[in-house]
Amino acid sequence: MSPKHRPFLGAFLIAVVLDQLTKAWVSRTLGYADEIPVLEGFFHLTHVRNPGAAFGILATAPEPVRIFFFIGVTLVAIGLILSFFYKLAPGDRFSALSLGLILAGAVGNLIDRLRFGEVVDFLHFRLWGGYSWPDFNLADSFIVVGVMLLVIELLATESESRDEVETARSES
């Protein structure tokens, strides 16, 4: 097992387990549409179901079309994530960790779609002026964090590459 496998598999397994445990807890503890204020007026735990994608996209599409579409898109995404992972250098643990989080988020929401035909969401933030961010879950968070880590790494390595090019130019 190369060094990149440990962070990839570790992040994946821990994130999927946390995602599914939190969704199970919410489903057992809260009735549908119930909410518990954690930070009154700002952060609440809720129990909602999202038959669509982010921000409820395609939520009103016919169920068979919606399920087929989201499962298909998720399977393609899983294939792409695994393809990117296998192309990483053996020692690229940071990218492997990032891809493990993204894969965990995709699989966590796929599990919900296969089990319930929709995704369990429970994190609700109320913003200033009465606006609310759409409810989401840990799987969604893992995807966002994984993508952000990849972007940070890309920006850092691009900056290093520029510095190396500038150093080489100044030495010539």
pLDDT digits (tens, 9 = 90+) for 34-76: 999 999 989 999 999 998 887 778 888 888 888 889 999 999 9
Q: For residue 94, is pLDDT > 90?
A: yes
User: Catalytic residue at 112?
Assistant: no
pTM here is 0.88
* Helices 5-29 & 93-116 angle (0-180, nearest 10): 30
Q: What is the mean pLDDT of residues 80-84?
A: 98
pLDDT of residue 79: 98
User: Catalytic residue at 121?
Assistant: yes
Q: Which helix (H) or strand (E) holds 49?
A: strand 43-50
| Beta-carbon count within 10 A of 64 CB | 9
Q: What is the mean pLDDT of residues 12-20?
A: 98
Catalytic position from the list 19, 112, 121, 135: 121
What one-letter code names the amino acid at 171?
Answer: E
Give the residues across from 4 on adjacent strands: none
| Beta-carbon count within 10 A of 125 CB | 14
pLDDT of residue 129: 80
- Tell me the H-state helices in 88-137: 93-116
Q: For residue 20, is pLDDT > 90?
A: yes
Distance, CA of 148 to CA of 140 (rounded, Å): 12
Q: Tokens 């735990």, residue?
A: 45
